[in-house]
Structure 1
Amino acid sequence: MTSELTEAAVAATIDHAILKPDFTRTDVDRELDVAAEWGVFSVCVRPSDVAYAVRRLDGTGVAVGTVIGFPHGTTSTAAKTAELRRALEDGATEFDMVVHIGALRSGEDDLVTADIAAVVEAAGGRSSDGGLVTKVILETSYLDLEQIARGSRLTEAGGATFVKTSTGFAGGGATAEHVRLMRESVSPAVQVKASGGVRGLDSAVAMLEAGATRLGTSASSTILGELRARAAGDTASRTEDTSSY
């Protein structure tokens, strides 16, 4: 599949993560510049960085998203919706909320669905009805396969646009097995985002092949740099083969 992927196509799947709690303004600036340089789809920044990122990326075509209830998902629904509304005011257009992990593991499906639905409503409703993009992070390293499948179905029931694997801050991360399970557990109306541990081109391709349509990663330059290098190598090989006849 690698030979079929263009740099632009892969860049269009990437949400460049800028979420480390210890990042300084200089660190944030560096990562925003990486996103703009490689032309990724979006950045996913800390809530307090949204307005700044929107100003700095103006004119680049890179969208700005943020996280809600991050990283544990255990804030109240009221707090999550308030956080989203502020991020919306600051200019964010995509919102990655963390599911209430304990409620999901406890089988409190109504609570989980209502929590998701409230966040989706705060973002304007389902994307198909004109709302902004909402993603639900399941934190798969804490879940068994049944819980991952059920969490995916509850994500769809709540009206979210994407179901997402991980925050990247709980150990573990995306696996092809989990991405395939999530893809199989929802209808085509819901997309899958692989996040956590996507650090190179091979892992990125594995997630896309498993059914992800968006990648959350802080390794955008590594992934796209590897793809550019391989493409250059393929071109050189073809040129050498042609010249040998």
Structure 2
Amino acid sequence: MSFVITPPRPAAVPVVGGGEFPVTRIYCVGRNYAEHAQEMGFTGREPPFFFLKPADAVLAVADGATGEMDYPPLTKNLHHEIELVVAIGTGGRSIAAADAPKHIWGYAIGLDMTRRDLQGEMKKQGRPWCIGKGFDQSAPIGPVHPITKTGELTRGAITLSVNGAQRQKGDLSELIWNVNETIETLSQAWALQPGDLIFTGTPAGVGAVVSGDVLEGTVAGLGTLRVAIR
């Protein structure tokens, strides 16, 4: 194949133990913890819904390193959302929940960074809110841990601290739609591809950050994701 311009380097995330996980697409699940749904003004177990971020929204952070995220333009209300990320290794369509683990390559810690003011304004106008979710560096992510090492993650603490003060705390068992159910539903709408990432939702406690803040996110068994806002 002969390209008329030089293609950019594909987005990728480091893998624990070596190598890189290539990123195809980034799916995100909205309002997937009950307390977070409530703080956003919603209640109940509504059907899952999804939005996407560009693959190159990834800000990959190596194990033990501190990622540096630029405070994005156009916003005065940048919010953090800590999430378990599922890395798809085997694609498929209409995957049954019971078969979902066979399609998982591994897990990572991710941040769904959100320009909340822009998202809110788009919601008021009934317009798509990609500008609030899909901007550059809006998906900081730590290294991918192979499922062969971690086993299937269904419970365990998920937390986020800013400058050492805890803001978010939950448990993976509190997901309204668990990982397997999410993969089942998602794969009915899209044929999942190897390299897809799924951000599975965030616990309550989301809030604003500013330049100079340091975020530390944890998921039990996956270590710590550390990101500084410049």
Larger Rg: 1
Taking structure 1 as the reference length, the TM-score comes to 0.23
Taking structure 2 as the reference length, the TM-score comes to 0.24
Q: Is the strand fraction higher in 1 or 2?
A: 2
